[in-house]
Structure 1
Amino acid sequence: MLSVVIITKNEAGHIARCLESVSWANEIIVLDSGSEDDTVAICRQYTDKVYQTDWPGFGIQKQRAVDKASGDWILSIDADEVVTPELRLEIEKALQQEQVDGYEIPRLSSYCGRQMRHGGWWPDYVLRLFRRDCGRFTDSVVHERIIVQGQIARLSTPLLHDAFIDLDEVLHKVNSYSSLGAALLYQRGVRSSLSKAVLKALWTFIRTYWLKAAILDGRQGLMLSISNAEGTYYKYLKLLELQNRQQQ
């Protein structure tokens, strides 16, 4: 039995396409953290297992969703991801492999209308399919991952990811993730300065655009490189703000 688990907040623009793509699963679990749009109502059209709770961070929230599932296998996807019919077939075959406990799936992400093949975005293998009794999420507030005790294999069919639909979404996520990233760095004892923020941002641009060849993805590759650099810059600048607040 396969349980699909999804966490949501204000995902009305994405969630129907996501849920439709996994409507074949035995069970769909949605854990919402206070949506103010139509997300919850849309989800209830696809599953009666829609729950609402507070927001403790990505890792804990995704594990909460897993804990509500009853399937032997878990497929964890985000609200802006889509399982294609081809990926469904490969997943169904994978579930029959008794010696494997988890699968990494290549993720093909789009940025402002273009599927990105460079800049470190492809192939972006993510561990999303695993036996419920063999894996769990880390407690990380951001950049969470699944730890599987057992053998891991890879699928070949990509999971589609609408990472950024437009520039409004880019700016929103840059702001959100830079705040979460700064808090995580602060907890780890990392410290920042204005010069460090600038240099880190510059290196992020060089690495993305030149070393990881985002230049080959045209104007979206340049836009991605700039937004990655901006995210890094603001993360270290917000870290500096956290330091200054604690010193006052």
Structure 2
Amino acid sequence: MSACRLSACIIAFNEADRIGDCIASLAFCDEVVVVDSYSTDSTVEIAQKMGARVLQRPFEGFRSQKQFAVEQAAHDWVLCLDADERVGDELRTAIEAERARGFDGAGGYRFARLSDYFGKFLRHGNAYPDRVLRLFDRRRGGWRGKREVHEAASVDGTVRTLRGDLIHYPYRSLEQQLLKTQRYAQMMAEHDFARGKRATLAKLVLAPAWRFWRGYVLRGGFLDGWHGLVYAYVRANYVRQKTVMLWLLQNSQNVTTSRS
């Protein structure tokens, strides 16, 4: 059985400091497609210099941006990454082994994502293994659904789990993390509100506490030291923000300042 052709798909915006390492980790793929949202730094130049095919598209949401990238790929088997991710050596070996077998019988593959958090890789709590489906046959699935944040790919058919990690460098600073989580909280609150979901007083009080307890205590986040403590606290705060924003929306209040 001959090896399948494989396209790598990346979405990016102002990732000049990270796009190079991402593309370098995809050297085993037959092509790299980068969908850029009109970066104002040197993201595009770096990607093109490294041999990627770069397309420009206004950002309308994470899910739709990733699905657009998949649709532009030259090959049906696609490997999807964000610019802050890299394929680890063990994962690359596992992917190449499956590819050599023609991805026999599978519709897609999931694998663990290992995140760096201020100089330490988190290996416990809600942060790991954080398995994601990123390698799949686009003829059998893709980035489906309507949710544009916390998006997930899905396929029809068998999904297998591969050894190795997708290495993730999600935050450049605490400030960036806080701004990012606030943006995600707003997007999720608006999505939930549009679907008819409503917050309750119990959720306002209990949901953030449960997120912290589950990740830090039940799933062993404390084993990651102070890094695990800060991570669990910030993630619990995300749940608080999302629930508060949903509460405000259902009570006809603004969650952002209108811009004229």
**TM-score by structure 1 length?**
0.92
Alignment correspondent of 1:122? 128
SS in 2 for 1:157: strand
Question: Does the CA-based 8 Å contact 1:29-1:47 persist in structure 2?
Answer: no
Question: Does the CA-based 8 Å contact 1:5-1:74 persist in structure 2?
Answer: yes
Q: Deviations over 1:32-71 (max 9, x none)?
A: 1232222222222223521111222111111100000011
Cα distance in 2, alignment partners of residues 176 and 13 from structure 1: 22
- Answer yes or no: is 1:49 the counterpart of 2:53: yes
Where has structure 1 moved over 6 Å in runs of 4 or more?
A: none
Structure 1 residues 33 and 197, CA gap change in structure 2 (3 angstroms)? farther
Q: Partner amino acid for 1:67?
A: E
Cα distance in 2, alignment partners of residues 109 and 102 from structure 1: 22
Offset at 1:195?
Answer: 6.1
- Answer yes or no: is 1:108 the counterpart of 2:99: no
Question: Does the CA-based 8 Å contact 1:193-1:237 persist in structure 2?
Answer: no
Offset at 1:166?
Answer: 2.6
Matched pairs, number? 247
Cα distance in 2, alignment partners of residues 195 and 85 from structure 1: 45
Structure 1 residues 216 and 183, CA gap change in structure 2 (3 angstroms)? same
Cα distance in 2, alignment partners of residues 201 and 192 from structure 1: 13
RMSD: 1.9
Offset at 1:152?
Answer: 1.6
SS in 2 for 1:155: strand
Alignment correspondent of 1:28? 32
Cα distance in 2, alignment partners of residues 185 and 52 from structure 1: 29
Mapping of 1:1-248 within 5 angstroms?
1-95=5-99, 96=101, 97-139=103-145, 140-192=147-199, 196-245=203-252
Q: Deviations over 1:204-246 (max 9, x none)?
A: 2122211221111100111011101111111112222322336
Cα distance in 2, alignment partners of residues 204 and 105 from structure 1: 23
Cα distance in 2, alignment partners of residues 81 and 90 from structure 1: 17
Structure 1 residues 81 and 127, CA gap change in structure 2 (3 angstroms)? same
**TM-score by structure 2 length?**
0.88
Offset at 1:183?
Answer: 1.1
Contiguous gaps of at least 5 residues in structure 2: 255-260
Identity between Structure 1 and Structure 2 (%)? 40
